[in-house]
Amino acid sequence: MNRPVPHDDYMPRPEHHFTFGLWTVGNVGRDPFGEPVRPALDPVRAVHQLAQLGAYGVNLHDDDLVPSGTAATERDRIVKQFKAALQASGMKVPMATTNLFSDPVFRDGAFTSNDARVRAYAIRKTMAAIDLGVELGAATYVMWGGREGVETNAGKDPRAALAWYREAVNFLCEYVRSQRYDLRFALEAKPNEPRGDMFLPTTGHMLAFIATLEHPEMVGVNPELAHEQMAGLDFSHGVAQALDAGKLFHIDLNGQKIGRFDQDLRFGSDDPKGAFFLVKLLEDARWPGMRHFDSHAYRTEDADGVWAFSAERARALQKEAFDLPALRARGYAYERLDQLTMELLLGVR
C-alpha cells in the first residue's frame, strides 16, 4: 500500500541550493517559427516570485538585467533596484554569464570570430559583465560559446579558432586576477545549435581544453543535461568525470529528448530514471554547488503557467545497499535493480 508523503517534504527551501536564470522564468515563448506568446518579465518581480517558491538564488546574462546600449545612469538605476530586491528577499546571485550570441555582430562567433574587432568587442563585453556579476555577488562565471562554431569548414580553421578561444579565456583569467575578484569560470559545452557544429562540443572536450590554459585552476565546467543528451551521451557520466577531475563548478538541469533540437524541458519531465541517477550522484558526492534549472515553460503556457513550471524541484532519494561478496559466482542483479528504481520513482515502494 502506498504511503502518502507530506507535501512539505517536497517543497524546495533555500538550503537545497535551487537556482533559476532570469532567462528561464522570463522566457517569452519565442521560437524559430513563432513570435512571443508571453510578456517580458520584470527582473525585480522574478526575484520576489522565485523567493516565494523557495529558491536560493537567481542567475543572469548581462543583457537579461541591463539591455545592451543602456546609458550608465540608467544602468546604475536598474542595478540598484535589483540589488534592493535581492536584499529584501534574501535571494543570491551565485552565477552570471554573458550574452555573446544574440547580437548580429556575433553571427560568426564571439571569441572565435574571424574578425579580430569582433573578438575584442566580445572580450570587452565579457569584462563589463564580469564586473556586474561580481557586484551582485556571483562567485561563478559561466562561458557558453553559443556562436563559436561553423556551418562549413571552408569558413574557419578550427586550430586558429581554438587558439583564439584559449587567448580569450587566458586574458579574462588575468583580468579577474588583476581585479582581485573571487571568481571562477565554468565552460559550457554544446554539440550544435545555433551553429551547425560547435567547437568543444562536450564536457570531455572542455576538460581537455582547460588543461591547455595558463590558469587551469581557475576554470572548470558547467555541464548541461540537454546539451550532453543532444550529443547522445549519458549526462551523469559526464558529470561524474567532472567531479572526478575536481572541475564541476556549476551544473544546468533540464530535460531533453535525444535527437531533437535544444528543448530545455523541465528537469525530470522526460527521463525520470536519468534524473534520479543524476541527483543520486550529486548527493552521494555531497557536491555543495548550485542546482540550477536552465529550462523554460512550454510555449503553450501563459504567465501563470510559467510559475507552475517554476515550482519544479529535485530531492535526493536514498540508495539501497547491496552486498556483493562472491563476484565471480554471482550475477549483479542489475535488471532487478533497474526495476526497483522504476518502482521507487513511480511510487510503488
Residues with a known catalytic role: 61, 64
φ, ψ (nearest 5 deg) of residue 93: -120, 90
Separation of CA 344 from chain center = 28
- The CA radius of gyration of the chain, in Å to the nearest whole number, is 21
For the CA atoms of 80, 83, 84, 88, the dihedral, rounded to the nearest 10 degrees, stands at: 180
Please say whether the dihedral angle defined by the alpha carbons of residues 189, 317, 90 and 6, taken in this order, is positive or negative.
positive
DSSP letters of 268-336?
Answer: TSS-HHHHHHHHHHHHHTT--S-EEE-----TT--HHHHHHHHT------PPPP-----TTTS---HHH
- Between the two ends of the chain, the Cα-to-Cα distance in Å is 8
Q: CA 236, CA 275: separation in Å to the nearest integer?
A: 9
Helix, coil or strand: residue 96? strand
Q: How many CA atoms lie within 13 A of 24 on its CB side?
A: 28
